[in-house]
Structure 1
């Protein structure tokens, strides 16, 4: 959670009194640690700034009452122009979820754990000169175009607290056109007559499955094989707690492992069945150093045909695992030799991989290259959360940035997309303060970076929600995407290849004939917007805040 607190002195409450009443009981600290890991560790740590500020020493600089009130309702304090809340929101440019459902005992235990980190450590050094204060100076403008949407379905609540339904991806089966949507808490639903029907449950078949802690932990993604209607095959990505099963892609013994992400193949006995029944096998397993940036996307190329070399090849978007933010930049800075921060491409039907459970496509870029990972299709990505193709067959991937830029890249085999030494078209320092942007060096060409086709900075959002290409008027050929926390929907024309031309505009949302936005529709400040597309090209927008699904319509 983004605990936006400013370290400042206050005359009415002397600094040395802060934290004096916080419990130092060992049991309280341990209970607080569990709460922190489940609710806070995705955005915070006690070593350096991440998505939110470094929290080491915070209980000695800010009052307990203030911290509790902010955690309960951060937007309220920001809207009331509390100076501490306002200043940190201006710096980090995002909102944390509300945690008003925590009990007073849980708040006290959380503070006990935070209070155990007394000395604030440096957030990172400034190792370069010429810091760019505002990477992209001009802000996005509204387009004149309206996106008319209609309500489609309400996904069942999967929790009484926090996000109602953690719906993450909507996709279809190629031949039959069936539409499915998943919940990070483990459910896969089919949308039938605008009603979600449970098709499969991850937790039913996997005892080690976990969907917390973290904003992205759980049932991350799914993909149906192009021949699903015949062979009954589909694939899932989910997270599991660390156990005795050794990962196919493991971290060195000196690096702690927080959890594992697993790719599974499911084979339905009857592809036409309304509920899954069949067999499951594991394809691969990857270690991750934190709960962040796991596997949020697996997919097949929907435009490939049986005569294409790309037909039936599974693409896997693997994040950097939070390695850079948590002080392990070498995990992501590997030159294509490892799997973290990459897009992988495998053939699930083969067996020539090291574990014998899939094969390496012979046209993968590093098949015959020494000291490279043969599964890697592209690398240098921080958190590739959505992959799509345009009608010309070009592959696009959205990549969630750290604190500077959100981006969309045209993905080509073997290319390096910059992370963790670039964010957007800016230099970043993976060993220093990663919240600072610098100009590109004079010898930039020597680094071989491929830069984004679309980018925007954190004046206009804070986490891109990857999109799709519209194949219907009035947006035919345009790329429609959004921002996860803000709920803003954008439209871009990738044919305008110069990102400085600002080829992105905000799309107006119209519901029931009235212009609105997703903050009004959800009555929430943090939206958690996602987009999807069915096999007819219809675009969907859905929100974790309330579990509702909308579809774009022509008016």
Structure 2
């Protein structure tokens, strides 16, 4: 047991110190530079994963397979056959063959979508000769089913028939100021996407909210469940700024299956129907993890919203497990002050959803809220003086020192001159409507503002029209963004905010020109609506039509680095290890299979470092298999580096 614990600790240590390289071979080793050219897979004679012996074996396999293929397909399909056989020589074949085990493609590389469509269109008949995997062969009836099955889960690392290491798109110099990024289409056919959020329950699900009232489940390969996870479209008011705006999972979601949504709705009054904003609790179905139970709705908070503008809409749990709710001034004209602390409008509320208050509220008041016991303030208020806060992000802290952990930045939409980004602080007053951004609007009141907190960054309307708050980047695919707060503007530009020498500095994110080739985009085509993030910390950009319509024009993009130069393998290895250890007793449960059942037959989830073995039965065999692979990795490491 001592040896196995040391093995795990060493793997984590090596991963965190980036001794694993981005180039990764199909057998788990690192790609190396060859001094002797390869005779068959000659395009990989430089940096690659094949020795001359492996190259010779591939040549023999190619010859044997070619003799079985009818001669009428040779001329058109011979190159496809060779390229797929030689894919193992690619310096990133470990990603194509997914040695981290989220797919069961066996001896078949994960393909890029476009290349797969081309292969199927021109040479469908040779596919049975490329693999013996019955799971793949069962899917070759149509292009959609085949390519959905064999395309790489992460399309940033997929096989497109070319040497990934010398891919021209990866090496071409872009004329714009580097670094530059691209937008990779992830989900389409939405009316107005409003949020993307991952859940830390080891299912790798993404929840995408459509403002008209539905939440859909997507997976990292872009596939989605057919039925919505939650459909409250009959209750949602989808007009002006209202709609289904946000979602948050309870910190103990794995046990209690509770989640929360913020949406606009309406109810009958003596004067007719009155619109409101509402925060409600729901539970996931006990029978189907991909559907919410509508009957479990518990209304936590509800406020009248007569004009349907500036509802706020962010809900999130802080480090202490309390729910934060941002509310705008619920107005359109700058006539009402959010400095009236006997009302909730224009505030960040902080509440305890796990208890009922003695005064009859369906939530509790945290004892350390800043205004508890102050008769001039509602006890729910954590901060106030906001106009229209739209999207907040919470920082995990510096990886080495932990500095900044729990820091929250919110975008607050201005009136007619200034947009601002605010660092959320306990008891702070952000000054609306006496202040807009950094400037005083009402000269006779400015010096009377108590606890005024100026924005950490602001910009004039000559540079944009409405700020869209975002998230701190904590992924591994774009290291140049690590620790930075990514935000944007409704007009379509993106930027980062970072703390340097005690000053917050904003830097524009450049979209690449030459590198963003189809299907990648280098601009927001409509309006920037929101941002989202998955459990791994990768960011998503949401665009939609405005003014709103019922057309399904909304698009969710993944923010990507087209150079693919990130050192991602260490992050992947560390994260997969965490996932595996938490799932070790659940790998064979029906959840991992059922969650895709409405899409296509699911590729079975495999072991962390294996691509060919079936999942062993029982907790002990899973642990033993993991330990054997960990020991194998450490042996390979010491042979290479020591």
User: Does residue 348 of the first structure (1) align with residue 376 of the second (2)?
Assistant: no
- Give the drift of 1:426: 0.3
Q: Structure 1 residue 521: deviation in Å?
A: 5.0
Cα deviation for residue 512 of structure 1 reads 8.0
- 2:232 is paired with a residue of what secondary structure? helix
**Partner Cα distance (1:517, 1:462) in 2:** 28
TM-score normalised by length of structure 2: 0.53
Q: 457-466 or 235-244, which moves further after superposition?
A: 235-244
In the alignment, is residue 174 of structure 1 matched against residue 200 of structure 2?
yes
Aligned runs of 1:366-377 on 2, under 5 Å?
366-377=371-382
Q: Deviations over 1:520-551 (max 9, x none)?
A: 756x4x42342111111101112113322221
- In the alignment, what sits opposite 2:259? 234
Aligned to 1:404: 417
| Cα distance in 2, alignment partners of residues 382 and 209 from structure 1 | 23
1:487/1:280 Cα in 2 relative to 1: closer, same or farther (>3 Å)?
A: same
Quick one: which of 196, 204, 212 aligns to 1:185? 212
Match of 1:478 in 2: 484
Question: Secondary structure of 1:415's partner?
Answer: coil
Asked if structure 1 preserves the Cα contact closer than 8 Å seen for 2:268 and 2:274, the reply is: no
How big is the shift at 1:507? 0.8
Structure 1 residues not aligned, in runs of 5+? 1-141, 158-164, 246-252, 305-309, 430-437
The CA distance in 1 between the partners of 2:312 and 2:208, in whole Å, is: 16
Q: Secondary structure at the match of 1:209?
A: coil
Do structure 1's residue 455 and structure 2's residue 455 form an aligned pair? no
Tell whether the 8 Å contact from 1:385 to 1:397 is kept in structure 2 after alignment.
yes
Work out whether 1:510 is the aligned partner of 2:512.
Answer: yes
Aligned to 1:217, the other structure's residue is in SS state: coil
Distance 1:353 1:344, change over 3 A: farther
Within 5 Å, give how 1:279-428 maps onto structure 2. Answer: 279-301=296-318, 304=319, 310-311=320-321, 313-322=322-331, 324-325=333-334, 327=335, 329-330=336-337, 332-334=338-340, 336-352=341-357, 354-390=359-395, 391=397, 392-428=405-441
Deviations, residues 357-381 of structure 1 (Å, cap 9, x unaligned)? 1111111111121221111110000
In structure 2, relative to structure 1, the CA distance for the partners of 1:495 and 1:175 (3 Å cut) is farther
Structure with the bigger percentage of helix: 2
What is the rounded CA distance, in whole Å, between the counterparts of 1:449 and 1:257 in structure 2? Answer: 38
Partner SS state of residue 228, structure 2: strand
Task: For 1:25-36, list aligned pairs within 5 A.
Answer: none
Would you say 1:549 and 2:556 are equivalent positions? Answer: yes
Does structure 2 conserve the Cα–Cα contact (< 8 Å) formed by 1:258 and 1:291? Answer: no
Distance in structure 2 (CA, Å) of the matches to 1:517 and 1:297: 31
**Contact 1:232/1:271, CA 8 A, preserved across alignment:** no
CA contact (8 A) 2:192 2:544 kept: yes
- What is aligned with 2:117? none
1:195 aligns with 2:195: no
1:487 paired to 2:492:
yes
What value does the CA root-mean-square deviation take over the aligned residues? 2.9
Conserved 8 A contact 1:342-1:379: yes
Change (3 A) 1:361 1:512: farther
Please give the per-residue CA displacement for 1:342-395, whole angstroms capped at 9, x wherever unaligned: 111111111016443111111111112122111111000001111211222212
Using a 3 Å threshold, how does the CA distance of structure 1 residues 388 and 272 change in structure 2: closer, same or farther? farther
Say which of 271, 278, 295 aligns to 1:262.
Answer: 278
TM-score (norm 1): 0.61
Instruction: Assess, with a 3 A threshold, how the Cα gap between structure 1 residues 421 and 497 changes in structure 2: closer, same or farther.
Output: farther
Q: In the TM superposition, what are the counterparts of 1:529-548 in structure 2 within 5 Å?
A: 529-545=529-545, 546-548=553-555
